[in-house]
Chains A and B, each alone.
Chain A
Amino acid sequence: MDALYEAFAGWARAGILPAVFVHPFMVRGLLGALLLGPLFGGIGTVVVARRLSFFVQAIGNAAMTGTALGLLLGEPPGSTWAGIYGFCLVSALLVTFVKHRGGIPSDTVTGIFLAQTLGLGVLMVALVSKRFDIHQVEGALFGSLLTLRDADLAILLVTALAAAAVAAFLYNDFLLASLSPELASARGKRPVILEYVFVTLATAVVVAGLKLVGALLVLVMIVVPAAAAQNAARNLRQFFFLSIALSTIAAVGGLLVSGYLPVPTGGAIALVSTALFYLTLALSPRRREASR
């Protein structure tokens, strides 16, 4: 990896790349953004189609509690992966289970779960802050470019490859089951199992992106590019690729903004991606038709 950082620094000094890329952390951020963009943009199309935005937000927030839990259980600060993955995954599966067994609307279950997680999180953070630097938890909330490590990039890469493999087999089934579980079932699919698979995948993706964008803003990166792509697309193919393109532009754009201005990366990404949403809304063919 060092050779790569050296090469980027060389290009930056030669003026081929912006000067900020002399810093290895900016190169790591760029690689992270280039992985995160397509990953979040792609999965965002299914999240939006299945109306799981609120659920994704709740998973993001659960990560804060997971971080505190990891620290309490003795994981090293900055890599509390077992706490985060474990807590988020158990929470996500539990919500899905309660939703199916209780016949309660998804939003209601997610809301209750969010309240419970946040309550638990606040208690744990209070406990943790006596023993650890509170910035550890803050990093999980807002994301931080400076603390991104090679290992985090590796996790992101593995998650992206896994997501691509699952999508290659199940992308159509995820969407069909969301349109009509009965229809999917008539075609020999298993809608409930598909939901568990998707929820597991979405949790892994959300957690993998936390280091860069943070728990509070993970929703932005997943939902906003897909929502922006909806404004302009006429079919699912355009929707998917446009969502990936917008998400990648937002990630790289936000990174560059935070490279030049003293602002957190997550916040900059959020602002770039919402700006893209309004841009596509203004250019949307459907909106023009509606206002005619």
Chain B
Amino acid sequence: MTAIISIRGLTAWRGGEVALENVDLDVFEGEIHGLSGPNGAGKTTLLRCLLGTLPFTGTIRLGLGLKDAIGYVPQALAFDASLPISVADFFALSLTRKPVFMRRTQALSERIETALAETDASSLLGRRLSELSGGELRRVLLAQALVLEPRLLVLDEPASHVDEEGSRAIEALLLRLSRERGVTVLLVEHDLALLARVAMRVTVLNRRVATGEGVPLEKAVP
């Protein structure tokens, strides 16, 4: 199996304290890999290192081509409720250099509509981001992550602020992406029951230390 993410000896700091210490982790091509652990275990810190927004020591190797984007589903977006940004605006920001205040091309509009249809979010196109419910925002963020047809999908607690039905829909989508398109998924999630339903292997981060390359869930849960 080829590792699409290979982390060795990762150490990172937050606010002057060690948040991750000497972590090793392999995520193999085509698998759904769960990353779990209690609050403050360093899950989000690991993601930030992986995505390049936090300095670290150690190595992170990505088995991706230059043109491969990482599909990333953040836990939340940082914006004030008063910012008039629509769902279509949000897509345009990341899909084109043409300033978002210019008129959108037909091709771009169609691309956004197709992406939203994938997660059942077509009706949200013209809505303001601040008006969306937790579940609706999650569908928009998922659609945004899938629009570039990534080989690697990274999700940060995708089921938080989402109801039971929404959570099941996300699980079904991840399984379908993995089976039909061979997408590799790194799923950061504290809910072990959810991970048990979708993840092939789980790595538990606790007190800054990971348990190596991940184990099947039965062994991860004592």
> B85, B103, B128: which has the most chain A beta carbons within 10 Å?
B85
Selected from A51, A176, A185, the residue in CB contact (under 8 A) with B53 is A185
Bitwise, B63-84 to A at CB < 8 A (1) or not (0) is: 0000001111010011110111
Q: A238 in the interface, Cβ–Cβ < 8 Å?
A: yes
Q: How far is the CA of A227 from the CA of B72 in the complex (A)?
A: 30
Interface of chain A, main secondary structure: helix
Assess A241 versus B101: contact at CB under 8 Å? Given A172-B94, A186-B71, A188-B69.
yes
Question: Is B97 among interface residues, defined by CB-CB distance under 8 A?
Answer: yes
Give residues of chain A (41-63) contacting chain B, Cβ–Cβ below 8 Å: 48-49, 51
Pick the contact of B74: A49, A183, A191 (CB < 8 A). A183
Interface string of A227-243 (1 = CB under 8 A from B): 10111011111111100
Whether B89 sits at the interface, judged by CB under 8 Å, is: yes
Total interface residues on B, using CB and 8 Å?
40
Task: Establish whether residues B85 and A236, one from each chain, have CB atoms under 8 Å apart when the complex forms.
Answer: yes
Cβ contact of A234, chosen from B51, B52, B86, B93, cutoff 8 A: B86
- The answer to whether A240 and B101 have CB atoms under 8 Å apart is yes
Q: A59 to chain B: closest CB distance in Å?
A: 21
Chain A nearest Cβ from B222, distance in angstroms: 32
**Nearest neighbor of A51 in chain B, beta-carbon distance:** B80
Is B154 an interface position by the 8 A CB rule?
yes
A241 to B99, CA, bound (A): 12
B83 pairs with A49, CB closer than 8 A = yes
Chain A: number of interface residues, binned into ranges: 35 or more
Instruction: Confirm or deny: B106 has a beta carbon within 8 angstroms of a beta carbon on chain A.
Output: no
What is the minimal beta-carbon distance from A104 to any residue of chain B, in angstroms?
Answer: 9
Which listed residue, A167, A179, A227, touches B93 by the CB 8 Å rule?
A: A179
The answer to the question of A103 belonging to the interface, with a C-beta cut-off of 8 Å to chain B, is yes
Please state if A176 and B93 are interface contacts (CB–CB under 8 Å). Answer: yes
Q: Is the CB of A237 within 8 A of B101?
A: yes
- The answer to whether B84 and A239 touch across the interface, beta carbons within 8 angstroms, is yes
Q: List the B side residues contacting A103 at CB < 8 Å.
A: 14-16
A188 — nearest CB in chain B belongs to which residue? B69
A180 at interface by CB-CB < 8 Å: yes
Distance of A208 Cα from B94 Cα, bound (Å):
31
Known A187-B94, A188-B69: A178·B51 in contact at CB below 8 Å: no
Complex formed: what's the CA distance from A227 to B77 in Å?
20
Beta-carbon contact of A168 and B99 below 8 Å: yes
Residue of A nearest to B82 (CB): A230
In the complex the two chains form, is B77's CB within 8 Å of A179's CB? yes
With the chains together, A48 CA to B101 CA distance in Å? 16
Question: Which of B69, B92, B103 has the most chain A CB atoms closer than 10 A to its own CB?
Answer: B92
- State whether the Cβ of B96 lies closer than 8 Å to any Cβ in chain A: yes
Residues from chain A with a CB closer than 8 A to the CB of B85 are 49, 175, 179, 235-236, 239
A5 within 8 A of B: no
Chain B residues closer than 8 Å to A51, beta-carbon distance: 80
Count contacts between A and B, CB distance < 8 Å.
Answer: 104
Q: Does A171 belong to the interface (CB within 8 Å)? A: yes
Q: B48 to A230, Cβ gap below 8 A?
A: no
Asked if residues B84 and A238 are in contact (CB atoms below 8 Å), the reply is: yes
Give the docked Cα–Cα distance between A237 and B98 (Å): 12
Q: B48: which A residues are within 8 A, CB to CB?
A: 182
A179–B90 contact, CB under 8 A?
A: yes
Which of B53, B102, B128 is close to A181, meaning CB atoms less than 8 Å apart? B53
Most B CB within 10 A of own CB, among A168, A236, A238: A236
Q: Binary interface profile of B, 94-133, with partner A (CB < 8 Å = 1, else 0)?
A: 1011111111000000000000000000000010100000
Give CA–CA (A275, B152) in the complex, Å.
50
Interface flag for A169 (CB, 8 Å) = yes
In the bound complex, do residue A186 and residue B69 qualify as a contact, i.e. CB atoms below 8 Å apart?
Answer: yes
Interface flag for B215 (CB, 8 Å): no
B88 contacts the other chain (CB 8 A): yes
Residues of B within 8 A of A167 (CB): 99
Interface residues of A in 209-250 (CB under 8 A from B): 227, 229-231, 233-241
Complex Cα spacing A183 to B93, Å: 11
Which A-chain residue is minimally distant from B72 (CB atoms)?
A186
Given contacts A167-B99, A240-B101, contact A182 B86 (CB under 8 A): no
- Other A-B pairs, 9, CB within 8 Å; known A186-B51, A239-B85: A169-B97, A171-B101, A175-B100, A186-B154, A187-B69, A230-B84, A234-B84, A235-B126, A236-B84
3 shortest A-B CB distances, which residue pairs?
A240-B101, A186-B72, A233-B84
A residues neighboring B (CB under 8 Å): 48-49, 51, 103, 167-169, 171-173, 175-176, 178-188, 191-192, 227, 229-231, 233-241
A-B contact pairs, 15 of them (CB 8 A): A49-B85, A103-B14, A103-B15, A172-B94, A179-B78, A180-B78, A181-B53, A183-B74, A188-B69, A192-B53, A230-B84, A231-B82, A234-B84, A235-B128, A238-B84
